Amino acid sequence: MPIDVELLQAIFQVSSDVVGDPAQWPEFLSQVSKACGGIAAVLLPYTGSQGVSVNSEAQDLLNAYVNEGWSEGDRDPRKRAFPIQLRGEVAIDADVISSDEMRRSPFYNELLPRFDAKWWAGIGFQGEGSERWCLALQRSPRQGEFKHSDKRILQLLSARLTEIVRLSYVTSRATLSEVASAFDRVRQAVIAINDMGRVIRANASADRLFGEAIRVSNGQLLIRDSKAAKEYEELLSRIRWTTPGKSLRSTPIVVNRKNADPLLIEALPIDGAARAPFLHARALLLLKPVTKPARPDWPLLAEIFGLTPAEARLAARLATGEALEQAADELKITKATVRNQLQSVFRKTDVNRQAELVALLSSLRLSSPLRSS
């Protein structure tokens, strides 16, 4: 099937639309695929981030490719084209596999036919900095294979894709900088991270909070508090699999700091222009120091949430960041008793974790000069 050069030119003349609105990438890829006589298109990185953009026709094929382990080892013969594409050139099936080998290949005979796919062309192009990307086009058996003569046409797309990537990256980064600066104006510390957990931007308010307990090193946010560090890793896992427009459903993370108030980390998903597939911004982390009250007003907690005096005393201590074991010692009760009381507090305050309880009570700012235990 011949490539429709005029249609391709028309598509790329309006390609600036995807720069300002990353949500249009799937439709853009569908149009490019159609102009190239294909059924599907996937935009994926060879180096750098994990970000991937696909049109709807390619999603099921990509899911099977990943979930069934076709990317492992040498199961995918097309991986032999990596050196070609890393140079920013175009590769087709004929560059990586012979007809005889194709007839014996499980990749070509088991995976691709399930999705009415067979023929392929991969356009290598440069991303921002050292990143390298590939636009992979799929054709059905009926549409026919990509020819060596097609490679000359597809090669012209490499330079245009590089231009779009760079423009998209600059636009996305500018949008992200505006957001970070806006938070700075209200003295809110904020960190932007990508899908790999790499720090893209930290505003000045966040810089002032960095120290031994929490800091950025080699682009990664490091947390010394082991419990908080584990919760942060769990958060990163959720961020990687959260689709655009969906809530992260994450609970605040409490980072205990030596000789300083704890820090509360809350995560917000990034959508819109800042979530372009080349910058890969995925979440904003809001850092908020939690000021410990000198002595929480446990009678008020008891009244508001219907807690018993014992439960209220425990909740008041936990609200200051005190560990459960320490609270048991201070209240002179067993660990089993304090755990039972904590579960009752959870039910009555409608939370599920200690970090959520701390966040809830901190937001109420219930404190009193009374020093009763």
DSSP string, 219-271: TEEEESSHHHHHHHHHHHHHHHTPPTT-------EEEEETTEEEEEEEEEE--
Describe the strand order of the beta sheet including 132-139 as a list of residue ranges: 53-54, 40-45, 132-139, 119-126, 90-92
For residues 228 and 191, give the distance between their C-alpha atoms in angstroms, rounded to a whole number.
Answer: 16
pTM over 0.75: no
pLDDT score of 369:
43
Judge if 207 and 330 occupy the same domain. no
For residues 191 and 216, give the distance between their C-alpha atoms in angstroms, rounded to a whole number.
Answer: 10
pLDDT score of 279:
65
From the number of C-beta atoms within 10 Å of its C-beta (0-12, 13-18, 19+), residue 210 rates as: middle
The count of other CB atoms within 10 Å of the CB of residue 136 is 23
Judge if 205 and 147 occupy the same domain. no
According to DSSP, the residues that pair with 267 across neighbouring strands are 285
pLDDT score of 278:
67
CATH classification at residue 352: 1.10.10.10
| Residue-wise pLDDT tens digits, 23-75 | 788 888 899 999 999 999 988 887 655 556 777 788 899 889 989 999 898 99
Judge if 24 and 151 occupy the same domain. yes
Q: In the chain, which residues have pLDDT < 70?
A: 47-52, 241-249, 271-280, 291-296, 363-373
Judge if 285 and 309 occupy the same domain. no
Which residues form the domain of 204? 186-289
For residues 54 and 31, give the distance between their C-alpha atoms in angstroms, rounded to a whole number.
Answer: 12
Judge if 119 and 259 occupy the same domain. no
| Residue-wise pLDDT tens digits, 91-142 | 999 999 999 999 999 999 999 999 999 999 999 998 777 778 899 999 999 9
197 within domain boundaries: yes
177 within domain boundaries: no
259 within domain boundaries: yes
- DSSP summary character for residue 30: H
Judge if 91 and 66 occupy the same domain. yes
Judge if 159 and 213 occupy the same domain. no
Q: Where a domain ends, among 289, 317, 333?
A: 289
Q: Where a domain ends, among 168, 201, 231?
A: 168
Percent of the chain, pLDDT > 90?
Answer: 45
Judge if 106 and 246 occupy the same domain. no
CATH classification at residue 105: 3.30.450.80
